[in-house]
């Protein structure tokens, strides 16, 4: 069922992280489905659970779509309390408050819940073993949400980017115009995921769940879909491969533009405070089986994002 065919959601949809990449796309993409509530920090401070609870009690939403997160991976190593407050305790508050009012929760998580040592794309059932504070705090959020008892769906994604906000693609294209050579890590494998594709996926899921809830409580319908799903971009590449393809496409569009040469380096040549997973690939077959949704191949999403820049 396409999102556009949905009747209005019978209640409000509260979207957190509205100023972020995914939250911003969600606010626009979900708007045709019903009344969207996007609290700012003054109304909902994710670093304070009491503020989160108050905002939910005030809005009384039917759905909460949590795209907010502490995502400064390296900075989290020196700010673990703040990372856990936003990525775990705020999520616990969301789950508990949603459970009280009978709301459904969609929550976004990350490939960083894995250590990245696996040789195949990760399944939802694979053992989690984060190697960074960021990854550990996101895993704690998943566990807190599940522990709240609320009907929920957790969508783990990877390498999120888009035409807006701070992300790898925009940074690389800026630096490529300023330098002659860019050295980019070439031994971390994953798939870039377009923020808009994630938003469209969430809309598709809500539509299906609302259809299943026709004539019965939403919680009863969601009991059939509770759990973790992987939702990363289709295909796979490396950070170097992503950067090189972006630069190639920009050159293809504008042969006169001067852009850096992209060279591959090893992770060991680019040390960071937080360890990165070498394997960020996610097996997304479960998403297709349950909701009939396939995430966009990263080559295609890259072309579409570049067309907006």
Placement of tokens 């469209």 in the chain = 200
Question: Treating both helix axes as pointing N-terminal to C-terminal, what angle do 90-101 and 133-147 enclose, rounded to 10 degrees?
Answer: 20
From CA 145, how far away is CA 87, in angstroms rounded? 11
DSSP code, position 69: -
What backbone phi and psi angles, to 5 degrees, belong to 49?
Answer: -60, -35
C-alpha angle 210-102-134 in degrees, rounded to nearest 5 = 90
CB atoms under 10 Å from CB of 200, counted, come to 20
Does residue 161 have an active-site annotation? no
Alpha-helical (H) ranges within 30-124 are: 49-59, 80-84, 90-101
Rounded Cα–Cα distance for residues 247 and 1 (Å): 36
Cα gap 208→202, rounded to integer Å = 10
| DSSP, residue by residue, 193-231 | EEHHHHHHHHHHHHHHHHHHTTTS-HHHHHTTT-EEEE-
**Catalytic residue from among 84, 134, 161, 229:** 134
Closest to 263 (Cα-Cα) out of 163, 175, 159, 161: 175
Q: How far apart are CA 193 and CA 251, in angstroms?
A: 22
Q: How many CB atoms lie within 10 A of CB 197?
A: 29
Using alpha carbons, select from 66, 63, 25, 12 the residue that is nearest to residue 44: 66
DSSP state of 159: S
Instruction: Cite the active site residues.
Output: 134
């Amino acid at each position: 069922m396409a999102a556009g065919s949905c009747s209005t959601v019978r209640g409000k949809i509260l979207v957190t992280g509205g100023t972020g990449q995914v939250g911003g796309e969600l606010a626009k993409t979900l708007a045709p489905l019903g009344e969207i509530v996007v609290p700012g920090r003054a109304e909902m401070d994710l670093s304070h659970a009491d503020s989160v609870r108050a905002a939910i009690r005030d809005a009384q939403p039917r759905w909460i779509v949590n795209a907010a997160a502490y995502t400064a991976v390296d900075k989290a190593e020196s700010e673990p309390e703040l990372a856990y407050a936003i990525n775990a305790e705020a999520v616990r508050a969301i789950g508990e408050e949603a459970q009280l009012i009978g709301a459904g929760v969609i929550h976004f998580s990350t490939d960083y819940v894995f250590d990245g040592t696996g040789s195949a794309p990760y399944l939802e059932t694979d053992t989690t073993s984060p190697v960074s504070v960021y990854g550990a705090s996101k895993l704690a959020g998943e566990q807190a949400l599940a522990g709240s008892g609320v009907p929920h769906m957790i969508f783990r994604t990877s390498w999120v980017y888009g035409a807006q906000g701070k992300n790898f693609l925009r940074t690389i294209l800026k630096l490529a115009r300023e330098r002659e050579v860019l050295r980019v890590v070439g031994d971390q494998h994953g798939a870039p995921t377009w923020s808009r594709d994630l938003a469209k996926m969430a809309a598709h899921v809500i539509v299906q769940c609302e259809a299943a809830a026709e004539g019965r409580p939403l919680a009863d319908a969601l009991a059939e879909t509770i759990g973790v799903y992987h939702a990363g971009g289709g295909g796979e590449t490396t950070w170097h491969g992503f950067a090189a393809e972006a630069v190639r496409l920009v050159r293809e569009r504008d042969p006169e533009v001067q852009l850096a040469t992209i060279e591959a380096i090893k992770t060991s040549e680019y040390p960071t405070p937080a360890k990165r997973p070498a394997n960020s690939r996610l097996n997304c077959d479960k998403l297709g089986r349950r909701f009939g949704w396939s995430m966009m191949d990263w080559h295609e999403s890259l072309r579409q994002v570049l067309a907006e820049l």
